[in-house]
Amino acid sequence: MRQINDAHVAVPGLAVVEVAAADGTTAFAIQELLAARCAIAPADRTTREPGEPGVRLRCFLDLSQEPGS
């Protein structure tokens, strides 16, 4: 995963969420739950670390905006 930089969390209401899950289906289901509650920049794929169990997904949230905006 790439580094989280200052711009990702520059003001209150911005957040980076990293999901660790057993599989991509579960990770994307969590992303959908988040998208129903706040504006997100969704991930389009998961990543897998060699030798590590499961997958990871990172999305960016903006609590100051409505979902879907």
State the distance between the two ends of the chain, measured CA to CA, in whole angstroms: 26
Identify the band that residue 3 occupies on the pLDDT scale cut at 50, 70 and 90.
low
Question: What residues does 5 pair with on adjacent strands?
Answer: none
So what's the pLDDT on residue 28? 97
Burial class (CB in 10 A: 0-12, 13-18, 19+), 57: buried
Identify the band that residue 62 occupies on the pLDDT scale cut at 50, 70 and 90.
confident
pTM beyond cutoff 0.85? no
Tell me which residue range forms the domain holding 35: 6-62
Residue 57 lies in a domain: yes
Residue 42 lies in a domain: yes
So what's the pLDDT on residue 10? 66
Residue 67 lies in a domain: no
pLDDT per position as a tens digit, 7-58: 556 678 888 899 999 999 999 999 999 999 989 989 999 999 999 999 999 9
The Cα 30–Cα 7 span in angstroms is 24
Residue 45 lies in a domain: yes
Residue 68 lies in a domain: no
Residue 69 lies in a domain: no
Q: With beta carbons less than 8 A apart as the criterion, state whether 62 and 38 touch.
A: yes
Count the domains in the chain: 1
